[in-house]
Chains A and B, each alone.
Chain A
């Protein structure tokens, strides 16, 4: 006998809740380019694995299905703000459905190198309406913890300039109309950081001083993570589980990992 989507949703949500602090957590690393979040994400993942967790990493704009399409259009500089946003939302949705939610249901830790807030900050900095963005990305599985790596526009700019020339969309040249990628980046990243700072307040990010020494940041992250583990499962994630359950072939058995 097959299980209805509603029953499947109920069963999965109950099982996740019963696991309490032993459930898989979704931990997002957010911040401007050059804020050092990827370095911290790698250190954190290594530490989690050492602690005996099964860890899945998901990176921004990385789905096998949609990333190549975005990449080709970025190279051609052929997409505008709305298309940029819709394509990234599609990439995110695909990863949420095929990587993130299945891993969480199996009880794994999911470490996201950028999450929804990257889209909100960048697309809002490009002039798109925040409520439209939130609709595009819904229903969302909200992260248990968001580490936000706070850095000044100057530091971000210096760190990027030390290694490479910012790319066209990264520098926001599609919206600034400035030919010099470094100058465009300086202006655009200022707007992105402004959006991030507002989001940090609204969504209660855990702010990390990204200008502190690397290992000090890592120790702070470990400590904050351990303190945050006791948080209950946010029940508003049920909508995302229901949406996911609706897509599953009815004959498939889905269980929560041990």
Chain B
């Protein structure tokens, strides 16, 4: 039941460790591409921003975070990514599903379950990670998904995400920009 992408346009995925780097890294990736382009960033749906503002007194678990992340990815596909591809644009999804898979692996969730959650997500044509040097201080929870998860799980998860992405680069599934 993966959503089908239009034949026009190109979808590129990009993962970053610091949410504040998302747009600059996407712009860097798009620099060499001619024609119209677009960027789809985390939390376009506003789910996480709104949740952060609630005083619920409880933190979501990794499973709950992944379900919410999937809802946000679906929203982005429906409202941003697919319409831009239909217009023939090159779209950078920053982040895309590998960030979700990374959280699953870090939290020890079964890979099969995570794959099923993202069953609807079409594959990007090319996948990249940004070559960043983590700043000493973790950005705020609404700056990026990794920051949001770090806050919910009460630990800086950047080194674990970095190690997951490094592994993808080593296996040749990712390119570094």
Contact = CB atoms under 8 A, between A and B. Distances in A.
The answer to whether A and B assemble together is yes
Given A93-B61, A94-B61, A135-B116, A87 B68 contact: yes
B50 A69 contact: yes
Interface string A87-124: 10110011001100000000000000000000000000
Contacts of B60: 65-66, 90, 94
B1 A65 contact: no
Nearest to A80: B78
B119 interface: yes
Question: Max chain B CB contacts within 10 Å: which of A80, A93, A129, A246?
Answer: A93
Nearest to B115: A135
Contacts of A94: 58, 60-61, 64
Contact of A138 (B51, B74, B113): B113
Contacts of A89: 67
Interface string A130-143: 00100110100000
Contact of A90 (B57, B67, B74): B67
Interface string A41-75: 00000000000000000000001111011001000
Contacts of A66: 51, 60, 64, 68
Interface string B7-48: 000000000000000000000000000000000000001010
A20 interface: no
Interface in B77-122: 78, 108, 113, 116-117, 119-120
Interface of B: 1, 45, 47, 50-51, 54, 56-58, 60-64, 67-68, 70-71, 74-75, 78, 108, 113, 116-117, 119-120
A90 B50 CA distance: 15
A180 interface: no
Contacts of A64: 54, 56-58
- Determine the main DSSP class of B at the interface with A: helix
Given A65-B56, A87-B68, A132 B61 contact: no
12 contacts: A66-B51, A68-B50, A69-B50, A72-B50, A83-B74, A86-B70, A87-B67, A87-B68, A87-B71, A93-B64, A94-B60, A135-B119
Interface of A: 63-66, 68-69, 72, 79-80, 82-83, 86-87, 89-90, 93-94, 97-98, 129, 132, 135-136, 138, 243, 246-247
Contacts of A87: 47, 67-68, 71
B109 to A, nearest CB: 9
Nearest to A87: B71
Nearest to A94: B64
A96 to B, nearest CB: 9
Nearest to B153: A247
Contacts of A135: 113, 116-117, 119
Contacts of B61: 93-94, 97, 247
B75 A83 contact: yes
Contacts of B56: 63-65
Nearest to A132: B119
A218 to B, nearest CB: 34
Closest A-B pairs by Cβ, 8 of them: A135-B116, A90-B67, A86-B71, A64-B56, A65-B56, A93-B64, A94-B64, A90-B68
Nearest to B68: A90
A246 B74 contact: no
Contacts of B68: 66, 86-87, 90
Contacts of B120: 82
B63 A93 contact: yes
Given A65-B60, A86-B67, 14 more contacts: A64-B56, A64-B57, A64-B58, A68-B54, A80-B74, A82-B120, A86-B71, A89-B67, A90-B60, A93-B67, A132-B1, A135-B116, A135-B117, A247-B62
